[in-house]
Chains A and B, each alone.
Chain A
Amino acid sequence: MIRFVLRRILTAIPIGLIVTLGVFALVFAMPGDPLRELAGDKPIPAAVLAAKRAQFHLDDPFIVQYLLSMKDILTGNFGTTFAGADIRDQLALRIPVTLKLTLLANAFQWTLGLFFGIYAGFKRNGLIDKSLLLATLVLLAVPGLVAYFAAQYVFGVELKWFPVSGVLEGFPKSYLLPALVIGVLGFAGLARLMRTSIVETVNADFVKTARAKGLGEQRVLWRHILPNALLPIVTFVGIDLAGMFGGAIITESIFNLPGLGQFMFQAIKLKEGGVVVLLSTLAFISFILINLLVDLLYGVLDPRVRNV
């Protein structure tokens, strides 16, 4: 177990190097001068520009810039953004925003997905099952961007049920609409996977054995079918949670939530390689941790993959 965790962490190191290097290279390759962009139309004195360029090592070769950024990240010396904001303060403000959004969205997605998936799986070909099939088909066909803007317009601007954007109204009110949209869009895949998995498990031989043991229907469902049907869902969790940060970039920008996603979006726009790499590293670490947890959980649920 401990060896397994250590091995996973060790293999994460080279992957981390490749990911950060790749991300940094992509930002470096973007056209345009970040400082001039920051200044906009205003003229910048050459001396100021030179000082800033020196401060952010913009004139150094690519690899030196990358190594300096990595050194800053690893020593926890995050510095400031081009605009002068302290990155450590920014993170402290922004991480809770993204966490709240992601957790709320996941709560919606999991409650809806598991509830409808399990229900539809157990009561196959019923009314709920058939409506679910149709509803998920529609949801899966709607692009996220369209759904976000449509929801913002209908429920925020027109019906005024939710704040249109920003976090002024605090948690959970400001987060409800974006989280609901993410949750509803994500629930479709989850519910269908859950349903299919149950349908497959229902016909398994061991379910027949359970019935032959004279067990009640409820016991067969909850003790024999569900624990097996949940296994593919666990794999889905890891992949899905990892995608949440990527989704946050879009959602936070549309709903103007000052979280990490929005920070990332701004940093990419300004070509701030250091910030992009820092945020990518954060995303990467959380990705590794989540997947490690998922793998450990999988081992708990399925004895066949223990100690692998």
Chain B
Amino acid sequence: MTRHGEVLLKVDDLTVEFDTPQGPVRAVDGVSWQVRAGETLAILGESGSGKSVSTQALTGILEMPPGRIVSGTAQYRGADLIAMTVKERRKIVGDRITMVFQDSLSALNPVQSVGTQIAECYRVHRGLSKQDALRRAAEMLDQVRIPAAAKRVRDYPHEFSGGMRQRVMLAMALALDPDVLIADEPTTALDVTVQAQILELIAELQAERDMGVVLITHDLGVVSDVADNVVVMYAGQVVERASTAAALEYPVHPYTEGLLGSMPSADLKGQELPTIPGVPPSLRAIPSGCAFRTRCPIAIDDCAAAVPPLLRVAPGRDAACIRRPSIAAKEAV
């Protein structure tokens, strides 16, 4: 059983490259984070920032090749997922660590009933009989609040609405009572009201099970709603790591600051929404030194010299900016 607050998944210095005809491209660069039982960790970043690639690499579902893990460890309760054999990993990924993906229509097998797909977890990992597995699948559908679950267990993915389908995905991911749920943009394809329902459901089920949740998202609203801690990624690197409250209240890295500044709010009514100038760099041509410096309002020449290390700016929070090596330094600038 999990103890509350126990570190379940600890990723350390994870680096992932893709081999392309033009040479290797570094999609994830020295990323570290951890998630504890009962905690929700948000990984926040734009598309292409490496947030999905990092979780796909550690769970072994990234296509390799062209993907390649250059370095790093991902320890589930002390056992390194990256170093272990595929067979050993399959006992953990899919059982103790499960995943939910963004687009539930394409992420569910279109020619299998949802019941069969959920039951498959019980069949493969628990060796249950077909009938028992299907009964458990129906119970799971009921737990994610799908009406008339016993009937709908025989329905196919296309017969569900988007929100209901994402519930099916959740039911499948939570079927084996996992320790860690990795939710890769679980609400991006849904409209706002359904999005709130799904996030609420995840939070409820998480509280029931004392599960660690890794929530990958590009949506600051989602982060502020549900995450305990947040890891901000930019161009494959972690640029800021903090508790959600602290990060929202007082962002240290200029990128996080820019993201927060471009969030619509009542104060900005009638004004043009501020944006971060420029576009995220191509992974083929990441600027030298700090990857963000070309878009950064406070960049200086020294920023181009070396990749800024992740510095402890205050207890429990880190940021990778040489201009702001501490909270105090930010205030001084």
Which of A's residues lie within 8 Å of B, judged by CB? 203-206, 208-216, 219, 223-224, 227-228, 231, 301-304
Smallest CB–CB gap between A89 and chain B, Å?
47
Residue of B nearest to A225 (CB): B109
Given contacts A204-B106, A303-B158, contact A214 B101 (CB under 8 A): no
Q: Which of B94, B113, B158 has the most CB of A within 10 A?
A: B94
Chain A residues with CB under 8 Å of B94's CB are 212-215
10 contacts between A and B (CB under 8 A): A203-B63, A206-B108, A209-B101, A209-B169, A211-B60, A214-B93, A216-B124, A223-B120, A302-B111, A303-B113
Q: Does B13 have its Cβ within 8 Å of any Cβ on chain A?
A: no
Report B110-140 CB contacts with A as 1/0, cut-off 8 Å.
1111000000110011000000000000000
B61 at the interface (CB under 8 A from A): yes
Contact B156–A304 (Cβ < 8 Å): yes
State A219–B117 Cα separation when bound (angstroms): 12
Pair A214/B107 contact, Cβ less than 8 Å: no
In angstroms, how far is the closest chain A Cβ from the Cβ of B209? 18
Q: Evaluate whether A206 and B110 lie within 8 angstroms (CB atoms) in the complex, with A214-B124, A215-B120, A303-B158 already known.
A: yes
B residues bordering A, Cβ < 8 Å? 56, 59-61, 63, 89-95, 98-99, 101, 103, 106-113, 120-121, 124-125, 156, 158, 169, 172
* Best-surrounded residue of A211, A214, A227, A303 (most CB of chain B within 10 A): A214
Contact (Cβ within 8 A) B98 A210: no
Q: Which one of B99, B103, B111, B121 has the greatest number of beta carbons of chain A within 10 Å?
A: B111
Q: How far is the CB of A123 from chain B (nearest CB, A)?
A: 15
Q: How far is the CB of B103 from chain A (nearest CB, A)?
A: 6
Question: A304 vs B157: C-alpha distance in the bound complex, in angstroms?
Answer: 9
Q: Residues of B contacting A304 with CB < 8 Å?
A: 110-111, 156, 158
**Are A214 and B106 within 8 A (Cβ)?**
no
Partner of B125, one of A205, A214, A223: A214
B60: nearest chain-A partner, CB-CB: A211
Our pick among B89, B112, B124 for the contact of A213 (Cβ within 8 Å) is B124
Contact of A209 among B60, B108, B113 (CB under 8 A): B108
With both beta carbons as reference points, the residue of chain A lying nearest to B121 in the complex is identified as: A213
Among A209, A210, A213, A219, chain B packs the most CB atoms within 10 A around the CB of A213
Distance of A224 Cα from B111 Cα, bound (Å): 9
**With a CB–CB cut-off of 8 A, which chain A residues contact B110?**
206, 228, 302-304
Question: In the complex, which residues of chain B have a beta carbon less than 8 angstroms from the beta carbon of A205?
Answer: 101, 103, 106-107
In contact, B90 and A216 (Cβ under 8 angstroms) = yes
Q: How far is the CB of A306 from chain B (nearest CB, A)?
A: 9
Cβ contacts under 8 Å, A203 to chain B: 63
Q: Which residue of A lies closest to B120 (CB)?
A: A213
Which B residues are in CB contact (< 8 Å) with A216? 90, 124
With A215-B94, A215-B124: A209-B156 Cβ-Cβ less than 8 Å: no
The winner among B92, B99, B107, B121 for most chain A CB atoms within 10 A is: B107
Given contacts A214-B93, A304-B156, 20 further A-B contacts (CB under 8 A): A203-B63, A205-B103, A206-B106, A206-B108, A208-B101, A209-B101, A209-B169, A211-B60, A211-B61, A214-B125, A215-B120, A216-B90, A227-B112, A228-B109, A302-B111, A303-B110, A303-B111, A303-B158, A304-B110, A304-B158
Q: Using Cβ atoms and an 8 Å threshold, which residues of chain A touch B169?
A: 209
Cβ-closest chain A residue relative to B175: A213
Q: Tell me the smallest distance from the CB of B60 to a CB of chain A, in Å.
A: 7
Distance between B94 CB and nearest chain A CB, rounded to angstroms: 2
Residues from chain A with a CB closer than 8 A to the CB of B120 are 213, 215, 223
* Alpha-carbon distance A211/B99, docked complex (angstroms): 10
Given contacts A205-B106, A227-B111, contact A214 B91 (CB under 8 A): yes
Assess the A212–B111 pair: CB atoms within 8 A.
no
A241 to B120, alpha carbons, bound, how many Å?
Answer: 36
Closest 7 CB pairs of A and B: A214-B94, A205-B106, A212-B99, A303-B156, A214-B90, A213-B94, A205-B107
> What separation, in Å, do the CA atoms of A82 and B90 have in the docked complex?
73
> What chain A residues lie within 8 Å of B125 (beta carbons)?
214
Would you call B124 and A206 a contact (CB within 8 A)?
Answer: no
In the complex the two chains form, what is the Cα distance from A303 to B158 in whole Å?
A: 9
Q: Which residue of the partner chain B has the closest CB to A231?
A: B111
Cβ-defined contact, B111 with A301, below 8 A: yes
Quick one: given A204-B106, A208-B101, are A214 and B111 in contact (CB under 8 Å)? no
**Min distance, Cβ A234 to any Cβ of chain B, angstroms:** 12
Complex: chain A residue closest to B110, CB-CB: A304
Given A205-B107, A224-B109, A227-B111, A212 and B156 touching (CB < 8 A)?
A: no
Chain A residues, CB < 8 A from B108: 206, 209
From residue A207, how far is it (CB to closest CB) to chain B in Å? 8
Say whether, besides A204-B106, A213-B172, A215-B94, A228 and B101 are in contact (CB < 8 Å): no
Most central of B90, B98, B121 by chain A CB within 10 Å: B90
